[in-house]
Amino acid sequence: MLKTYEAIIQDGQIQWLTEQPNIQSGRVFITFLEDQSTVIDPVTRLIPFPKTTVDQVSGYLNYSGPPKSLDDFEAAIATGIQEKFNDYTCG
């Protein structure tokens, strides 16, 4: 299962913005946000996207399928990452 942790790297040092992973070894995927204006607000949260309004995202509220759990979302994200990784390495 994949779990996402958010951090900022400055001068080679990692500053965790979410809980720090409690792991001794493992496989990781590292994604860097490039070519985006990154803003750090007063509580040092990384904000890679512009603010959005409810009107801009309300189209997603019309979903009529079965309820999705957090595990469902994480599994879908993991599948997408694996497919993207396989496309990159095998394609």
Angstrom distance (rounded) from CA 80 to CA 91 = 15
Average of per-residue pLDDT values in the chain: 76
Contact present, 47 and 38 (Cβ < 8 Å) = yes
Q: How do residues 29-53 score in pLDDT, each as one tens digit? A: 888 776 555 555 545 555 566 777 8
User: Given this model, what pLDDT does residue 74 score?
Assistant: 92
- Secondary structure element (H or E) that encloses residue 58, with its range: none
Domain limits of the chain? 1-56
- DSSP conformational letter for 59: G
pLDDT at 71: 93
Task: State mean pLDDT over 12-22.
Answer: 82
